[in-house]
């Protein structure tokens, strides 16, 4: 195999340093790679916590009239599960990969603002800790409960002090406020990095798709998280300074909160899914041995998704009574977003078409992503049909739909990314056998849980209920759904085991284990602090292809 270490220096042997000094290095680091890894580890910890919360929810719902937990505990569980998974699992995961990979992919030595980067990470981290500190801190004054129990959407007026006594809602508000500032900081950093830090020769049209998708994601974060932050401040004003924004008993509006929340909430879905698209857009070409099909159309579709996603939020509010004309507008805008999303799926398929597909673990996760995201997109089209959503909204069908997006789409892509870039991050390979076992268990568990979850929704089962009546035809489906959880949990355990296996037993990965084409594979694994010994110069979208095929470089065709 030809050497691709052209831009890296040999690693000097360092004397081992005391653990306190090494920890100090990690806490004070401004290195984008270390911050990326911190984000990812942080997200993994919260993934396990929020997974346990999901398990409690499912155990409670395994049969009708179950009393595994009280309604109060159940309500806290789904509030914490949703809030944690969105804000403290998926977002940090994606920010972690963006942080780690963007400078490496565009041939830069770090992010544009390294100290802002560290600040943003710690804001996000403390936001998560603040949310969980509610378990200790919110208890007390009024004998009220501890963890927040208003749902991750926290609809007014349930969050007013009339209905939410004590401080649990304050912890929820402050956690999102604090982590929101972290998210906005990271987003600004990503935009600045992608726009200003690219290596010589890398025009916007020659960036890896990964950078494009994350650029649009970061733009959406700035636009979407700001209204959420504003709404949180308004809620605090309501609760403590006598404001009446959402106080319906003093003429405030519950509907205004919904608008604020969903003008954040729906772009947020694309904030989460665009980076998943980014992983898939890098992994599928490498394991199909072909360049991405229709690069410029993929970029166009991404930008289109970014724009349209800002105009679809009220499809979460079809049952709120917005009137026929408003509903009709949001039906159209929501359906419109299916077009660029469909284009993306077709382009990934076309990338695989005519290739030589290797079924390594990352590719397995990406193929499952394609299949599941297709299904999730189509249930999304069903939900864009407002009259259908008058039934399906707030039912278990909707829960199944967005878990299909977030687990079947985003988490599967994330696992693919994990296996794909782990050799780069740690310098060691993972176990292919354990990786495939993880895939199999998680795939079975996912489909047991989320395929069958659609059905009770069609049979009239609303979400967020701590128990249900027998005789509604929901029992057997709920039982199957809960069984699937154990397969998923087993899959996660195998995954964590694989990380340990890789750490202790993994073979050295070398700089380019997948024979890939983007710049991160041209430097050592793990990369040195300065990333590249000399800043690379690129002439096409696949600089390593050019290096490996000097007789037939890409720039002849782009």
Per the DSSP assignment, residues forming a β-bridge with 428 are: 508
Structure tokens at 139: 């208890």
Site for another protein in 311-370 (CB under 8 A): 319-321, 323-324, 327-328, 331-332, 335-336, 338-339, 342-343, 345-347, 349-350, 352-359, 364, 367-368, 370
Taking the complex as a whole, how short is the minimal distance between the CB of residue 72 and another protein, in angstroms? 6
* Residues in 273-312 that interact with another protein by CB under 8 A: 288-291, 293-297
Q: Toward another protein, which CB reaches closer, 116 or 459?
A: 459
Nearer to another protein (CB atom), residue 334 or residue 524: 334
Token reading at 316: 């979460």
13, 178, 214, 195: which is closest to 96 by C-alpha?
A: 214
382 lines the binding site for another protein (CB under 8 A):
yes
Token pair, residue 143, equals 């004998």
Q: Interaction with another protein in 61-120: which residues (CB under 8 A)?
A: 70-72, 75
Q: Are 170 and 236 in contact (CB under 8 A)?
A: yes
How far apart, in whole angstroms, are the C-alpha atoms of residue 259 and residue 192?
29
Site for another protein in 506-545 (CB under 8 A): none
The C-alpha torsion from 71 through 72 and 76 to 79, rounded to 10°, is 60
- What would the 3-class secondary structure string for 71-118 be? HHHHHHHHHHHHHHHHHHHHHHHHHHHHHHHHHHHCCCCCCCCHHHHH
Question: What does each C-alpha distance from 450 to 48, 267, 443, 454 come to in angstroms?
Answer: 19, 23, 11, 7
Q: How far apart are CA 521 and CA 515, in angstroms?
A: 8
Nearer to another protein, 104 or 386 (CB): 386
Measured from the CB atom, is 152 or 264 closer to another protein?
A: 152
Contact status: 405 vs another protein (CB under 8 A): no
Binding-residue pattern over the window 457 to 476 for another protein, x denoting contact by CB under 8 A: -xxxxxxxxxxxx-xxxx--
CB of 117 to another protein, least distance (A): 34
Contact letters (x/-) for another protein, 135-174, by CB under 8 A? --------------x-x---x-xx---xx-----------
Q: Considering only residues 260, 477, 487, 521, which one is a binding residue for another protein as defined by CB under 8 A? A: 477
Contacts with another protein in 245-274 (CB under 8 A)? 248-249, 251-255
Note whether 500 binds another protein by CB under 8 A: no
Question: Which of 129, 144, 165, 444 is the binder for another protein (CB under 8 A)?
Answer: 444
Closer Cβ to another protein, 171 or 246, answer by number = 246
Nearest approach, Cβ of residue 424 and another protein (Å): 22
Closest CA to 276 of 354, 205, 362: 362
Site for another protein in 421-440 (CB under 8 A): 436, 439-440
Q: Phi/psi of residue 313, each to 5°?
A: -60, -35
- The closest alpha carbon to 305, from 220, 407, 185, belongs to 220
Phi, psi of 116 (to 5 degrees): -60, -35
Nearer to another protein, 21 or 324 (CB): 324
**Lookup result for tokens 């005391």:** 18
Structure tokens at 421: 């870039």
**CA–CA gap between residue 418 and residue 41 (Å, rounded):** 12
Cβ(484)–Cβ(446) below 8 Å = yes
- Residue 317 beta carbon to another protein: minimum distance, rounded to whole angstroms: 9
Q: What are phi and psi of 79, to 5 degrees?
A: -65, -50
User: In the range 222-241, which residues lie near another protein by CB under 8 A?
Assistant: none
CA distance 134 to 148: 7
- Tell me the closest approach of the beta carbon of residue 208 to another protein, in angstroms: 15
Judged by CB, which is closer to another protein: 93, or 396?
Answer: 396
Q: Provide, rounded to whole angstroms, the least separation between the CB of residue 92 and another protein.
A: 26
């Amino acid at each position: 195999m030809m050497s691709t270490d052209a831009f890296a220096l040999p690693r000097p042997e360092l004397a081992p340093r005391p653990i306190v000094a090494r920890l100090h290095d990690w806490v004070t680091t401004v290195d984008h790679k270390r911050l990326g890894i911190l984000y990812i580890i942080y997200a993994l910890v919260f993934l396990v916590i929020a997974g346990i919360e999901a398990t409690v929810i499912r155990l409670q719902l395994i049969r009708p009239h179950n009393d595994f937990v009280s309604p109060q505990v159940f309500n806290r569980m789904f509030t914490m599960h949703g809030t944690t998974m969105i804000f403290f699992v998926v977002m940090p995961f994606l920010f972690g990969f963006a942080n780690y990979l963007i400078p490496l992919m565009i041939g830069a030595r770090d992010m544009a603002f390294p100290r802002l980067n560290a600040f943003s990470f710690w804001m996000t981290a403390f936001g998560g800790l603040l949310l969980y500190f509610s378990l200790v801190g919110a208890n007390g004054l009024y004998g009220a409960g501890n963890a927040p129990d208003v749902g991750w959407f926290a609809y007014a007026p349930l969050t007013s002090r009339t209905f939410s006594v004590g401080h649990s809602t304050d912890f929820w508000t402050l956690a999102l406020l604090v982590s929101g500032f972290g998210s906005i900081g990271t987003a600004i950093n990503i935009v600045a990095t992608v726009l200003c830090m690219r290596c010589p020769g890398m025009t916007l049209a020659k960036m890896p798709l990964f950078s494009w998708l994350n650029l649009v994601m970061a733009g959406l974060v700035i636009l979407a998280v700001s209204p959420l932050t504003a709404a949180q401040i308004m809620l605090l004003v309501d609760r403590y300074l006598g404001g009446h924004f959402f106080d319906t008993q003093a003429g405030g509006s519950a509907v205004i909160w919904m608008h604020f929340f969903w003008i954040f909430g729906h772009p947020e879905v694309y904030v989460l899914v665009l980076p998943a698209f980014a992983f898939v857009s890098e992994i599928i070409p490498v394991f199909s041995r072909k360049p991405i099909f229709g690069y410029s159309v993929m970029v166009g579709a991404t930008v289109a998704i970014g724009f349209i996603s800002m105009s679809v939020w009220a499809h979460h509010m079809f049952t709120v009574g917005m009137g026929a004309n408003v509903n009709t507008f949001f039906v159209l805008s929501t359906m419109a977003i299916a077009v660029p999303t469909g284009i993306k799926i077709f382009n990934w398929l076309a990338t695989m078409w005519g290739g030589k597909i290797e079924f390594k673990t990352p590719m397995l996760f990406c193929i499952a992503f394609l299949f599941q995201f297709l299904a999730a997109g189509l249930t999304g089209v069903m939900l864009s049909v407002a009259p259908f959503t008058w039934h399906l909204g707030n039912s278990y069908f909707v829960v199944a739909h967005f878990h299909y997006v977030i687990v079947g789409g985003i988490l599967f892509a994330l696992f693919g990314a994990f296996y794909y870039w782990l050799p780069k991050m740690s310098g060691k390979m993972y176990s292919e056998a354990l990786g495939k076992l993880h895939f199999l268990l998680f795939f079975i568990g996912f489909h047991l849980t989320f395929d069958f979850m659609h059905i009770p929704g069609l049979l009239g089962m609303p979400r967020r209920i701590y128990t249900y009546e027998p005789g509604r035809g929901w029992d057997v489906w709920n039982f199957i759904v809960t069984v699937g959880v154990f397969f998923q949990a087993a899959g996660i355990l195998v995954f964590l085991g694989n990380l340990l296996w890789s750490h202790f037993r993994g073979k050295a990965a070398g700089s380019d284990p997948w024979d890939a084409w983007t710049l991160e594979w041209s430097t050592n694994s793990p990369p040195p602090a300065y990333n590249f010994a000399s800043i690379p110069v690129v002439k096409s979208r696949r600089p390593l292809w050019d290096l490996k095929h000097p007789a037939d470089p890409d720039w002849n065709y782009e």
